[in-house]
Structure 1
Amino acid sequence: MGALLPGLPALAQSGAAVDAAGLSLPAERFVRPALETDEGGLWGMMDREETRLRRSPFVVRDAELGKYLQDLVCRLAGDHCPDIRVHVVRTPLFNATMAPNGMMQIWTGLLLRVENEAQLAAVLGHEIGHYLERHTLERLRDLRSRAAFAQFIGMFGLVGAIGQLGALAGAFAFSREHETRADRLGMRLMKRAGYDGRQAAQVWDNLLGELKITGGEDVGKRSPMMATHPPVETRRDDLLKLAGDAPGSVGEEPYQQAVARYRLGWLQDEIRRGQFEESLVLFNRLLARNAQDSQALYARGEIYRLRAGKEDLQHSLNDLTRVTALDQPPAEAYRALGLVQKQRTDGASAVQAFEKYLAAAPEAADAGLIKNYITELTP
């Protein structure tokens, strides 16, 4: 590594492997800094933010999912595993963050979009790379104004996580050098854990596909989430070069099993985000992988219904008719189909769909409203 910043604890170099770019994997855990140092103060602030986060209603409290993600992080972080604490936050955006004190947030928008363990490991390995190289501490020291510092701290808390991602990502993003080094270190962590490094490039391509639909081909240069990363046109090639041809684990089945119980809710969160064009790219990608994905088919039909553009009602009808013909479709698909039929003034078909919805979800929060619709539409 290069020279350490003043005030940072020395990283133990015994047993650390260093590559040609000067990237090291510290073999020993970081020592908590003294409270009276500036770094100690930053750790204390992050500890307080983590306490607030633990009380948040947006945190997904599931022991099984939490253990699965913590185990994955431990495979990547090695000896640093005991210092990293994973928090899953229900936010329909693609993101993960790590604070200097070891607090990691994984947002459900990320969990919805990655397709397997290897892709998730690529993102989390990148964030662990920032942590191991102390990039967040460097960035905090770069901030000069008290207001900017407070906003940056807020990025790790609930308010910042939900409401300020775009502005904060642009104002406080890591440098391109930091991002490149985190890519390289993250790839080393992936490969050391036995994952297929080529999946890292796929994550980038998938996300870029969503952003391009509204941001255009040069979105990588303008998006606050992308602008400080290595150039879009070369990043995939760089990641593939780093990955090499060595085979590795992908882990699609265990990943899909781990998130299965939450996936429909995360799809509904994505629908409520209101970015219909981006969501359609995501849902089309899911259906290209599995045309019988009943949850994704419902979600796409609902997006068409809500967008209500030219031909959208017919597209919605097609998707919802298909999904309700499958085995065990989401109950919400019957509700959406009934609403489409209601808009088409096909009262009999709407009533039939609404009745199936109530049979599948008798305790639904909107059951009273649906019963009123049935009464209105029944001759």
Structure 2
Amino acid sequence: MTDRTPARPTFDDEGDDALGGFVAGPDDAGKRLDAVLAAHLEGLSRNRLQALIKAGEVSVNERTVTEPKHKVHEGDTLALTLPEPEDPEPKGENIPLDIVYEDDALIVIDKPAGLVVHPGAGNWTGTLVNALIHHCGDSLSGIGGVRRPGIVHRLDKDTSGLLVVAKTDVAHQGLSEQFADHGRTGPLERSYQALVWGAPSGLRGTIDANLARSEANRQKINVVRSGGRHAVTHWQVQERFGPADQPPLAALVECMLETGRTHQIRVHMAHIGLPLIGDHVYGAGFKTKANPLPEPLRSTVTTFPRQALHAGLLAFEHPVTGETMTFESPVPEDFKALLEALRKF
């Protein structure tokens, strides 16, 4: 009888190595993805494999799967990519924080643009996590993982606004459950202010388009017709800019998240032809819109250093007291200056 069980690959968990793929055998059928990988890969613990799956480093039949409990079928081709090794545990750094609210369970920060939330490639120091470790001391130890202590959601480096961080395991679990539920059954609410090129024809709408990491550029996210992760953004026009007798040059749009995916608002708005002003990743093709503008608007737009996106509203249920907490943040000065320049056009 021929042995149909694939050979057991061995990994040392160093470097950006990729397993070209192995085919699940009959003994793997019906089992969880993390269990199958653990059975076939030496040198990687079950917990490590679960983390890699959730991070999007595992594919089944060339489709990214992020659920460790995903059921494997005989004949499935499984592939795993091992990321670069993580840096040592982050250290506290005396970085100023704009603290909106704090108690023994959590802390709400108004994050400035330019501040990275947690350590990663190219940003091992100077992050919000380093600042939080310095501010909170040992209370963050072990909550949510070494690299992301207390973090339950994040904002892109160049997105400003409100972010809540857990200070205890109980708070971390309670907040994580709310963000995983996306406000479907609770008071969680996230609203962003975005300045976009052009303007939609209607006053409000919904973008329902799955997102996946680009195979060509792993730093970018694409809208995909099949597979990927479910993503929904609701939008509402607050203001249009430009001469009354011409199509709108730009618009101020409120974006409400029903899901929270990487770069979701930026990708979704670009997908419907309304990229964010200043977004050099997803709106680079629209930079020529600024060329015919009069001064000083042209200079204000072309020198705006980031995507015009601000997390202005955050509401959630306090994980200990059960109270609904609502916080609002006005747009920062750079966003405000751009907004005022557009209003004068």
Query: Fold-level match, TM-score > 0.5?
Result: no
Q: Hey, which of these two has a bigger chunk of helix by percent?
A: 1
Give me the TM-score of the superposition, normalised by structure 2: 0.28
- Larger relative CO (CA 8 A, sep 6+): 1 or 2? 2
Give me the TM-score of the superposition, normalised by structure 1: 0.27
